Structure 1
Amino acid sequence: MPKLASVIEAILYLKGRPLTISSIAEYAGCERDMAEEGLIELMDEYAHREGALEIVEIDEGYCLQLKSGFHHLVDTLIPLDLGVGALRTLAAIALRGPMAQIDLVDLRGSGAYQHVQELVRLGFVRKRRQADGRSFWLQVTNKFHQHFEIDQLPTIPQKAVEPSSIEANNVEETGISGSDEDENSISEKTTTTTSVEIPP
């Protein structure tokens, strides 16, 4: 019978999304404390490997993911395949951002939660916790502008927010490493402006 750490590795690989300790324990058929010990052992093993994968903890739980040093291969080997719903959610964030996730859900429905998770994973959206911890600020990244060759977006007026509430020092940021680089650091800026329409 395989050791628990290997079972947890298989679970994270097969589920393909972040899992909480409780979920891991349920799938592995063991107690929570045993799952936690197995996960710690697995994370320690990965920390000493010179491979392309790693086990990390994010807001949603623990996941098996590609190390940041290999992210450039994603664009080369995996073509972008976003559904219509995710594209519309991305357009809403692009035109209204930075916007609160709760406002996005009001606009796009509960399916926006899954869209945001996918867009953050792809590096098109930054997700930063608000200072009061009640929601997240969402904003498109430089990767979005580069990928879609958009230099400047039209803006939609929205309720003003306190600048201090979205400062990086007051929020917890999640997403793909390197996606929040300053636009001035991009060596080649695109000049094509693409109009994006938000559906009703």
Structure 2
Amino acid sequence: MPQSPPTISPTFRLATQIEAILYLKGQPLSLDAIADCAGCDRETAEDALIELMDDYAHRDSALEVVEMPSGYSLQLRSSFQNLIQNLVPAELGTGALRTLAAIALKNPLLQTELIELRGSSAYQQVQELVELGLVRKRRQAEGRSFWLEVTEKFHQYFEVDELSLILAQSPKHNGTAAITEEE
């Protein structure tokens, strides 16, 4: 049975409700999806969206509502993009986080072992982690694979000084050797 959209307080104008929807979804939404979430028809949602875009165009704000090929999105204005690199570490997807966790737990780890553990998508995830400075790749002395290890930036970003000490104190694991045997 399809769920009806949640009711939003009628004291807020529709443009404000759509602003909240775009913020909470955190990804581009089609006009139909916006209308469904707002509980109104497509034309009414489009009028409110135009009103919201006009509001943002005339206010001194770091945010803007933009139309993209995949829908409408509430995002940081491009003039503030430089702040992202300085203030906000890159968001990592679930796959990249799991890959990073595997590398951190087995630190160092051969890339071939990682691919066996995580699948071929790990190649791209490793590249992303290297570009972000969270993982370092170094060629294996003998063989064609790479050693993967977390960097100082990883320790700073996740506020982890010594991962092996944390794991040794964990009731589930008795040192890092147990982790190697589990997987």
Report the TM-score when normalising by structure 1. Answer: 0.44
Larger radius of gyration: 2
Report the TM-score when normalising by structure 2. Answer: 0.48
**Structure (1/2) with the larger helix percentage:** 2
